[in-house]
Amino acid sequence: MIKRLANPQNLLDPSTRALIPDFLLVSLVDILGHSVWYAFLAGFFIMLLGLCLSFFMADYTPANSPQA
């Protein structure tokens, strides 16, 4: 059963879901749901950091950079 659960997409297969006890299935679905939420939250903060940094980079575009 561990080999079948190595790929989380196998949880969508009805035959694999039938082999998993109910208490374990609820835990697995909860764990996967939280991991996706945290992944999107981390991506959101990285996007905000990039947005903030882009405001400071606007003055140093190649067209406006000082020529040596």
Q: What is the pLDDT of residue 24?
A: 86
pLDDT tens digits, 25-41: 888 888 888 889 999 99
pLDDT tens digits, 46-64: 999 999 988 887 666 666 6
Q: What is the pLDDT of residue 10?
A: 72
Q: What is the pLDDT of residue 59?
A: 64
| Helix (H), strand (E), coil (C) string for 13-66 | CHHHHHHCCHHHHHHHHHHHHHHHHHHHHHHHHHHHHHHHHHHHHHHHCCCCCC
* Domain range summary for the chain, segments of one domain joined by +: 4-59
Q: What is the pLDDT of residue 5?
A: 63
Query: Which of the four pLDDT bands, split at 50, 70 and 90, describes residue 13?
Result: confident
